Amino acid sequence: HVQLVESGGGPAQAGGSLRLSCAASGHARSIECMGWFRQVSGKGREVVASIHKATGKTYYADSVRGRATLSQDDARTTLYLQINDLKPEDSAMYYCAADQGLSCWGALTSTARFDDLKLRGQGTQVTVSS
């Protein structure tokens, strides 16, 4: 049984950086794709960035492209999302999600849906002040 646990959220200053972590426990080697989503209160979750673990192929949303970087630990059980040059509009609840097989086909696109991925974390709040 695989679980995802996010960490690294909190308050941040505009222009600064933060790094979010998503740690997978259990049979994490079965995971083929992982992604970060975010949700502002009253709005739907949007994909921020995602990665196919085996190929290393990545996707970044336009809102963070050039400011965000995904990385993995050596064991490929933890996914990191670093966002630089933070903006107040980056404030949101950030969620990690993961899956394997056919579900990963759409995970690296702008239409990736959090609820379509089998494994989902509880989220970590990021608040960026100007």
The tokens for 16 are: 């600064």
In the chain, DSSP assigns E strands to 3-7, 10-13, 18-25, 33-39, 46-52, 58-60, 68-72, 78-83, 92-99, 119-120, 124-129
The tens digit of pLDDT for each residue in 88-118 reads 999 999 999 999 998 898 899 999 999 999 9
> Could you give the CA distance from residue 121 to residue 21 in angstroms, rounded to a whole number?
11
- For residue 64, is pLDDT > 90? yes
Mean pLDDT of 44-54: 94
The tens digit of pLDDT for each residue in 22-31 reads 999 887 788 9
| Burial class for 99, CB neighbours closer than 10 Å (0-12, 13-18, 19+) | buried
